[in-house]
A and B are shown apart, each in its own frame.
Chain A
């Protein structure tokens, strides 16, 4: 086993375990959010192993940083206490979630076992693929329309948030 393979398994197991930790930690929402950070950072490490440096950095900055901070803000603002989750109902819900989750996992694993993920053979990656230059070029040439549409989406989100939170209504 090469060093890369060992590292892959270490980070892969870490990602799965902390993802489980996030889901199972219903009572302590902050611990749940912190487990999510571990998952995101492990995924970032796996991207590094694949030599996708830019994706790894974005993964850690956006998911590990911005999004989890947002989650923590929401957790703090809502200030949920454990009393607000009545234990009786939770057990049934947990059971249902576990059954559905395991069923979907089994289905995906069976499907993966039966079929190779990529039918078409991938072409060799050109020099500088996945770097800042390549990404910038393709964003502003091939995907220029979608970049503009994302800016409209952000505009809609900002206007929406302002209306729901700040607009004076008499």
Chain B
């Protein structure tokens, strides 16, 4: 007799909706491309693309709704209580919601851009959703195998998306580079997981927690290799070299998607793994994170100064932001993790916005990538220029924006755990970052326009995404705690990101 496990199928709702959505899109593409007219409209390639993008947005919105409901309800739900793999709790449902929202915004941002390039195919949206389902598995996993599978399911669609514009050599190079580096990172991660399995005799976070000892060198090597595997995905120095090349070569809309979602998902999974399987971290490990954090902040900010290409500049800026985020890992406190979560959400909106402006300026696939091409943009595109200024101010961490609130919370966490030097280095390098972020506004408002041919009209999808990101950046900057209170009504969410990480500390 085969024992039937007692499965809690409803827990899978967010991930299942995304997976079903991706299959609906793949099937829909085939059906639509065989029809001549649908509801009296002639079926063209860009019509198919737009319909399928709308389908993707619909399913992602459903996912967003279910995960927000699960976050508001609180509590911990496990898919299979006998053998937990996937666990929906305040932390994972909040991160799932963020992933769904940023995938949704990326889809809306991509429609016009892909149509211009004449590659507005349904597979694009299906791959984005498959990647999102991998992220959702990874951030809700309580078992190393699930973490690894989630990471692969997240990465493989993104390798393909980076090379989606097959006619461009740069896009191909970007895909191949990301694929090779990513495969090595996966192999390293898997080796580390195998060693952890060897010392603890189990793959679940609980088993590893029981079997892990800092005195055991094999266990430490295993943990180190796992951290290195994640370090590639979050572009931690010295594992960052791929980032600028891949961000530059990939189509801008893809860069927008991967620069935010991969970072959010990988950081969230790393927090979860460290807190649930190893926390509280040993002091020697915190020292390693300290060194890596300082290196990442300094290298990211210094290299960003000398960039002449806006996508490369944003790539180095994203490395620098990884460095600030790692301050939270160094502290390892509830405040540090809560600040990281807030910072990741703030980063999602401001970075998606900044890349969104680059996407909205791209003219027939000629990405306006040179920073010099922003000269005099305020005359011709005043609205886009104003939004770009806001996103740059937020990335630089100017008060009143989400970026400032994020940095403020991270630095407060550092001070409260006595990391004064991290605070000093972080603040100094933030000052340095103002130089390269404000170069673009200065060029836009104080220089004469060059002979660049920007796209002169903005699609409704791009406009909606940019305005949404701008509102989110301002709202999170001015009222960081009241936004979720507004969303969830009279729910008692004084500090919502804190509420998510409390579970790691027995809350």
**Distance of A150 Cα from B133 Cα, bound (Å):** 12
Partner of A149, one of B82, B137, B164, B175: B137
Contact yes or no, B217 A115, CB < 8 A: yes
Contact yes or no, A141 B5, CB < 8 A: yes
Contact yes or no, A152 B153, CB < 8 A: yes
Q: Is the CB of B163 closer than 8 A to any CB of chain A?
A: yes
Contact yes or no, B157 A156, CB < 8 A: yes
Q: Is the CB of B160 closer than 8 A to any CB of chain A?
A: yes
Contact yes or no, B211 A160, CB < 8 A: no
Partner of A144, one of B80, B133, B163, B216: B80
Contact yes or no, A163 B145, CB < 8 A: no
Residues from chain A with a CB closer than 8 A to the CB of B79 are: 145
**Distance of A156 Cα from B126 Cα, bound (Å):** 9
Contact yes or no, B80 A142, CB < 8 A: yes
Interface residues of A in 92-117 (CB under 8 A from B): 107-108, 110-112, 114-115, 117
Contact yes or no, B217 A145, CB < 8 A: no
Partner of A156, one of B5, B146, B156: B156
Interface residues of A in 126-158 (CB under 8 A from B): 137, 141-146, 149-150, 152-153, 155-157
Return A45 CB to nearest CB of chain B, in Å.
Answer: 21
**Distance of A149 Cα from B216 Cα, bound (Å):** 33
Return B90 CB to nearest CB of chain A, in Å.
Answer: 21
Residues from chain A with a CB closer than 8 A to the CB of B127 are: 156, 159-160, 163
Q: Is the CB of B221 closer than 8 A to any CB of chain A?
A: yes
Q: Is the CB of A83 closer than 8 A to any CB of chain B?
A: no
**Distance of A167 Cα from B33 Cα, bound (Å):** 13
Partner of A137, one of B2, B199, B218: B2
Q: Is the CB of A170 closer than 8 A to any CB of chain B?
A: yes
Contact yes or no, A149 B118, CB < 8 A: no
Q: Is the CB of A88 closer than 8 A to any CB of chain B?
A: no
**Distance of A149 Cα from B153 Cα, bound (Å):** 8
Q: Is the CB of B364 closer than 8 A to any CB of chain A?
A: no
Partner of A119, one of B4, B80, B200: B200
The A interface is mostly helix, strand or loop, or mixed, namely: helix
Residues from chain B with a CB closer than 8 A to the CB of A167 are: 121, 123, 166
Contact yes or no, A164 B163, CB < 8 A: yes
Residues from chain B with a CB closer than 8 A to the CB of A107 are: 221
Q: Is the CB of B227 closer than 8 A to any CB of chain A?
A: no
Work out how many contacts link A and B, with CB atoms closer than 8 A: 118
The B interface is mostly helix, strand or loop, or mixed, namely: helix
Return B506 CB to nearest CB of chain A, in Å.
Answer: 24
Return A118 CB to nearest CB of chain B, in Å.
Answer: 6
Return B241 CB to nearest CB of chain A, in Å.
Answer: 16
**Distance of A115 Cα from B199 Cα, bound (Å):** 9
Partner of A163, one of B7, B12, B123, B221: B123
Q: Which chain B residue shows the least CB distance to A169?
A: B166
Contact yes or no, A159 B126, CB < 8 A: yes
Return A115 CB to nearest CB of chain B, in Å.
Answer: 5
Q: Which chain A residue shows the least CB distance to B163?
A: A164
| Tally of chain A residues near chain B (CB < 8 A) | 34
Q: Given A107-B221, A156-B130, A164-B160, are A145 and B121 also a contact pair (CB < 8 Å)? A: no
Q: Is the CB of A120 closer than 8 A to any CB of chain B?
A: yes
0/1 per residue, B130-173, Cβ < 8 Å to A?
Answer: 11011001000000011001101100110110011011000000
Q: Is the CB of A122 closer than 8 A to any CB of chain B?
A: yes
**Distance of A162 Cα from B127 Cα, bound (Å):** 12
Contact yes or no, B130 A142, CB < 8 A: no
**Distance of A94 Cα from B395 Cα, bound (Å):** 43
Contact yes or no, B85 A143, CB < 8 A: yes
**Distance of A168 Cα from B118 Cα, bound (Å):** 11
Q: Given A115-B216, A164-B166, A169-B166, are A149 and B221 also a contact pair (CB < 8 Å)? A: no
Q: Given A117-B218, A119-B200, are A145 and B85 also a contact pair (CB < 8 Å)? A: yes
Q: Given A144-B7, A150-B149, A163-B164, are A155 and B83 also a contact pair (CB < 8 Å)? A: no
Return A65 CB to nearest CB of chain B, in Å.
Answer: 21
Residues from chain B with a CB closer than 8 A to the CB of A159 are: 26, 123, 126-127, 130, 157, 160
Q: Is the CB of B503 closer than 8 A to any CB of chain A?
A: no
Contact yes or no, A160 B82, CB < 8 A: no
Contact yes or no, A120 B152, CB < 8 A: no
Residues from chain B with a CB closer than 8 A to the CB of A156 are: 127, 130-131, 134, 153, 156-157, 160
Contact yes or no, A163 B121, CB < 8 A: yes
Residues from chain A with a CB closer than 8 A to the CB of B82 are: 141-142
Return A48 CB to nearest CB of chain B, in Å.
Answer: 21
Q: Is the CB of B449 closer than 8 A to any CB of chain A?
A: no
Contact yes or no, A120 B5, CB < 8 A: no
**Distance of A49 Cα from B162 Cα, bound (Å):** 45
Q: Is the CB of B3 closer than 8 A to any CB of chain A?
A: yes
Return A122 CB to nearest CB of chain B, in Å.
Answer: 6
Residues from chain B with a CB closer than 8 A to the CB of A153 are: 134, 149, 152-153, 156
Residues from chain B with a CB closer than 8 A to the CB of A143 are: 83, 85, 145
Q: Given A144-B80, A145-B86, A153-B153, are A160 and B121 also a contact pair (CB < 8 Å)? A: no
Contact yes or no, B217 A110, CB < 8 A: yes
Contact yes or no, A108 B221, CB < 8 A: yes
Return B276 CB to nearest CB of chain A, in Å.
Answer: 18
**Distance of A79 Cα from B118 Cα, bound (Å):** 34
Return B228 CB to nearest CB of chain A, in Å.
Answer: 12
Contact yes or no, B80 A145, CB < 8 A: yes
Please list 20 pairs of residues, one from A and one from B, whose beta carbons are closer than 8 Å in the complex, sorted by A's number: A111-B217, A111-B218, A111-B221, A115-B199, A118-B199, A119-B216, A137-B3, A141-B5, A144-B5, A144-B7, A145-B12, A145-B86, A145-B146, A149-B137, A152-B134, A153-B134, A153-B149, A153-B156, A159-B127, A163-B123
Which residue numbers of A lie inside 8 Å of B, CB to CB? 107-108, 110-112, 114-115, 117-120, 122, 137, 141-146, 149-150, 152-153, 155-157, 159-160, 162-164, 167, 169-170
Given contacts A114-B217, A115-B217, A149-B150, 7 further A-B contacts (CB under 8 A): A108-B221, A110-B217, A145-B146, A149-B146, A153-B153, A159-B127, A160-B160
